[in-house]
Structure 1
Amino acid sequence: MANSVNIPQFPQAFWGDSVSLPEFPKLEESIKTDVAIVGGGITGITAAYLLTKQGVKVTLIDAGDLLNGVTGHTTAKITAQHGIIYDELIQHFGEENASLYYHACMDAKQLIEDTIQTYQIDCDYRQEDAYIFTNSDAYISKLQTEKQAYDQLNIPGELSSSMPLDIPVKSVLRMDHQAQFHPLKYLKVLVDEAVNNGLEIYEHTTATDIEYNKHPTIVTRDEHRINCNYVIQASHYPFYDGQGFYPTRMYPERAYIIAVKTPEQFPGGMYINAESPSRSVRLANMDGEDLWLIVGENHKTGQGKSTMKHYEALQQFAEKQFGISEFVYRWSAQDLTTMDKVPYIGSVTKNEDNVFVATGYRKWGMTNGTIAAKIISDRILDKDNPYCELYTPSRFQADPSVRKFTRMNADVAKHMIRGKLEYTNDNVKDLEPDDATVTRVNGKRTGVYKDNDNQLFAVDTTCKHLGCEVNWNSGDRTWDCPCHGSRYSYTGEVIEGPAKEPLNKVKLE
């Protein structure tokens, strides 16, 4: 298919490009605080805001720039419609817990809405209905069953054969009273308020471990220490496992987003299909103009076809269904899914009550991240919270967790072995600019990237987490691990954990 518009050469998320964020220094000394938060996304910033509002001394660190991780690459839907989930939750957790999940998401939405009203935040907040649609006969009955779950849980919604977005559908399930916003415009105000309340923020400060004396102490890559009473791991992937075995209980997935202008008028609503490949559509505002966000093409990190093919597939979908007058942005996002699809929020292990974790949001971080901040801040403030037990990381549901646990870790083992046995003989001399290859240098598997100035960057492809072999991500120019989702720049620097150290550089002769 001939594309009418060109895909942008470099990935860039719309959210970060449309707002100016404050900058903060790197931590250069050891310090003391009451609560130390690792991770400057929606969970960390919301928790910092809630705690400092109550007079708690809080320090927040981020390995990179604030709001440049998962939160800065979200689709920013504030919704409890997390795919076809409620019938499954009823089957595996019971009706009461399934209802708690819905109400947790709606409480998160209410907290966001109340905060916006309190500070009169201009963040493009809009109430919207959310729609799951399908064109697959196999999913019609699944949507019918999901609607029965809605009725059982008193979730407002409707099952029909049409929706406002004018694309072919066979069945549609609507969830009423959801919302969307510009996440960085919202969180920038929370940062300002928390800083006014005494929050200290340090960027480019990587946490590598936790030591215990009387209280937990965060150790940074530069060997500085943050002595505190509580630690909140809001870093997407927990940097400290505490023998909670989180890498074996979650798997990473990537998704892709394109932002385009079209000749069509957007009808309102937020949309996602039920089947694969995934397709999600929502509207954003760019300088008063409509920007359509087309999302989808989920796959496990470091696995599958060339990642540029995913952007091209979304472009083809948008072109066919709506037409594209301008292709403005493209970017990708990564998130973690737990074995039972419910996030892990709470104490990192049963025996460590003062070290918290919040992870496994399954790409629904706006509500899950907000409720995580509320649950953990309530724990620290010694307040009751009705959702603690539902999300506790130490839970273990026998069905379906055992089977999924086995499948997930068999997949990791498969990629571990395949990477070690893979034989490559690509010639670096034949490499085109802005491309990469995997070859052997002195017998070691080596990744080589050539930039547009014909400069070569070579790295040892062995991931620093558990030793899997990383693969090239052509869409984002990164080296991605197919086992647990660590991601590195083409120079080998860590972009995304659980890896903490950069890839070893390799000298080319």
Structure 2
Amino acid sequence: MTSSLWHRDQTPIVGTPFAPDARHDVVIVGAGITGLSTAVMLAEAGVDVAIVDAGPVGQGATGASMGMASLLQGTTLAALRAHHPAGLVKAYVDANRAGQEWLAERAGAAADRRTAFTFGRGLSTDPALDAVRDAAREAGLPIREDAPGDLGGRTPVRALALDDQLALDPVALSRSLAEAALAAGATLHTGVRATDVRALPTGRVDTDHGTIFGDTVVLATGTPITRRGLYDLKTRALRSWAIAFEMEGDVEAPGGMWSEVGTDGRSVVAAPSSFGRGVLLVTGARHPVGSAPSEVALAEGLAAWARRTLPVGAEIARWSGQDYQSHNLVPFVGGMPRGLGRLRFATGYAGWGLTNAPAAAMRLSDEIRGVSRSDRPQWM
């Protein structure tokens, strides 16, 4: 992955020097949205938390994100409903809503409120859009049919709309969460690569700087760094390309957040106003890792589509990102098999981590603290 739009020159978050053999209540591996949200929730509840990450805050999948925190999520709800009962889909939506609300409080004015659209072109896309509409309404989302004349002024579409969703800068959000965790007493070690995790005699994380111990270890990585539970076989890695463009001339960027039905998984969103300049982001060319004969051709095809379809000017950034989809389309969150209650993890967000991650963090923090919350929805 080349550097994404969000990785601007920034002063590094100042963490804590690594002390081998240090002991904490909880050690979190991963300083993305999942790990940092979990750290904030725990540290603000008085739990002694340490975070380790091989890179800077908000790298990995978080830094490759498009910045869309939406409950509509393209065709995700329709896909879930095709394989699961309505109650599970509603629980998934409710959990993501809770995560989105928590994120909105933390992001504050740095997040733009926007309408999310799932769109298609022509009669051939109507069945897919109908399935999204039906699944979303069944799950309690106030979806409305929309018939905008264009997307970016050039392509007729039919769309489904959900108002009051969020567009944000995921790296800026990560930095804000890291600062909140540190302010609450958490320890942050960046540039420390975890190499193994163990559950005996207590939670243990081996790193390239030494070993760190925790009563509980949370693996907030894209996929768990251990084969316990064989989650590498229960998920598949998906890669997408993203390209950022300046707008063409004085044209304003489309105001919503757009996800297209279809196998390419294309989405279009303007950078949030907090970014400070008009930039349009396009993502797509989604494919299982290792299946593409040419990554370059996929990226070029996405760029060509954007130039044909949208009022874009010069390209200013191009990068790829990887996420993971579970075998049954439902994220995995909770205790790890054979982890003796000491190892916990979250994975399988399938590209929608900005709402799934804080939802997972809520569940993880409650379980670690032994808090039973009947008011919090569970989607597994």
TM-score above 0.5, yes or no: yes
From 261, 265, 269, the counterpart of 1:274: 261
Q: Does 1:230 pair with 2:216?
A: yes
Counterpart of 1:143 (choices 125, 129, 135) is: 129
Question: In the alignment, does 2:166 pair up with 1:179?
Answer: yes
* 1:249 is the counterpart of 2:234: yes
Alignment of 1:305-324 (within 5 A): 305-324=293-312
Q: Who is 1:260 aligned against?
A: 245
Write the distance in 2 (CA, Å) between the matches of 1:353 and 1:388.
21
- What is the aligned partner in structure 1 of residue 205 from structure 2? 218
Q: Shift of the alpha carbon at 1:162?
A: 2.6
Matching residue's letter, 2:26 = V
Give the alignment of 1:204-215 within 5 angstroms.
204-215=191-202
What CA distance in whole angstroms lies between the structure 2 residues aligned with 1:342 and 1:98?
A: 9
The code of the aligned residue for 1:53 comes to: E
Which of residues 347, 350, 353 in structure 2 aligns to 1:362? 350
Partner of 2:34 in structure 1? 43
Q: Match for 2:99 among 108, 111, 118?
A: 108
Query: 1:337 aligns to what?
Result: 325
Specify whether residues 384 and 138 from structure 1 end up closer, same or farther in structure 2 by C-alpha distance, changes over 3 A only.
Answer: farther
Q: Distance in 2 between matches of 1:350 and 1:172?
A: 46
1:418-497 pair list within 5 angstroms: none
Contact 2:199/2:339 (<8 A) preserved: no
C-alpha contact 1:259 1:291 (8 A) present in aligned 2: yes
SS in 1 for 2:95: helix
2: distance between equivalents of 1:136 and 1:343? Answer: 32
The one-letter amino acid paired with 2:121 is: N
Distance 1:219 1:287 in 2: 37
- Asked if 1:197 corresponds to 2:184, the answer is yes
CA deviation digits over 1:318-362, x for unaligned, max 9? Answer: 221234322111111100111111111111127632211111110
Equivalence for 2:112:
126
CA contact (8 A) 1:19 1:184 kept: no
Q: How far off its partner does 1:51 sit?
A: 0.7
What is the CA–CA distance in structure 1 between the aligned matches of 2:149 and 2:338, rounded to whole Å? 46
Identity of aligned residues (%): 24
Cα shift at 1:146: 2.2
**8 Å contact kept, 2:169–2:275:** no
Q: Determine the structure 2 residue equivalent to 1:348.
A: 336
Counterpart amino acid of 1:316? Answer: A
Counterpart in the other structure of 1:156: 142
| Equivalent AA in structure 2 for residue 339 of structure 1 | H
CA contact (8 A) 2:253 2:279 kept: no
Q: Structure 1: 5+ residue runs without aligned partners? A: 1-9, 392-509
In the alignment, the residues of structure 1 paired with residue 236 and residue 203 of structure 2 have an alpha-carbon distance, to the nearest angstrom, of 28
**Contact 1:144 1:159 (8 Å CA) reproduced:** no
Distance 1:170 1:143 in 2: 11
Q: Secondary structure at the match of 1:294?
A: strand
Structure 1 segment 46-65 matched on structure 2, within 5 A: 46-65=37-56
Deviations 1:356-390 (A, max 9, x none): 11111101111111111111011112222456752
Go from structure 1 to structure 2 and tell me whether the alpha carbon gap of 1:350 and 1:385 turns closer, same or farther (over 3 Å shift). farther
Alignment partner of 1:93 out of 84, 87, 92:
84
- Higher CA-based Rg: 1
In 2, Cα distance between equivalents of 1:67 and 1:160: 35
1:12 CA displacement: 2.1
Select between 310-319 and 246-255 the one with higher mean Cα deviation.
310-319
2:321 and 2:129 mapped to 1: Cα distance? 27
Contact 2:236–2:325 (8 Å) recurs in 1: yes
**SS state of the match for residue 281, structure 2?**
strand
Give 1:297's aligned residue: 285
For residues 260 and 88 of structure 1, the distance between their equivalents in structure 2, rounded to whole angstroms, comes to: 31
Corresponding residue number in structure 2 for 1:67: 58
What is the match of residue 390 of structure 1?
A: 379
Query: Secondary structure of the residue that 1:174 maps to in structure 2?
Result: strand
- Contact 2:242–2:319 (8 Å) recurs in 1: yes
Q: What TM-score comes out, normalization by structure 2 length?
A: 0.92
Q: Which residue of 2 aligns with 1:377?
A: 365
Pair 1:354–1:268, CA change in 2 (3 A): same
Following TM superposition, the consecutive aligned residue runs of length 4 or more in structure 1 with deviations greater than 6 angstroms are none
> Which residue type is aligned with residue 42 of structure 2?
L
**Contact 1:140 1:170 survives alignment (8 Å):** no
Asked whether the 8 Å contact 1:346–1:388 carries over to 2, the reply is no
Return the alpha-carbon distance in structure 2 between the equivalents of residues 389 and 279 of structure 1. Answer: 29
1:78 aligns with 2:64: no
5+ residue gaps, structure 2: none
CA positional deviation for 1:93: 2.7
When normalised by structure 1's length, the TM-score is 0.69
Residue 18 of structure 1 and its aligned partner are, at CA, apart by 5.5
Question: For residues 272 and 91 of structure 1, do their structure 2 counterparts lie closer, same or farther at Cα, with a shift above 3 Å needed?
Answer: closer
Kept after mapping to 2: 8 A contact 1:26/1:203: no
**Contact kept in structure 2, 1:164 and 1:268, CA below 8 Å:** no
Compare relative contact order (CA 8 Å, sep 6+) and give the higher one, 1 or 2: 2
Kindly tell me: are residues 278 and 116 of structure 1, through their superposed partners in 2, closer, same or farther at Cα, counting changes over 3 Å?
A: closer
Task: Measure how far apart 1:85 and its partner are.
Answer: 2.8
* 8 Å contact from structure 2 (residues 57, 174) kept in 1: no
d(CA) in 1 for partners of 2:9 and 2:350? 25
CA-based RMSD = 2.2
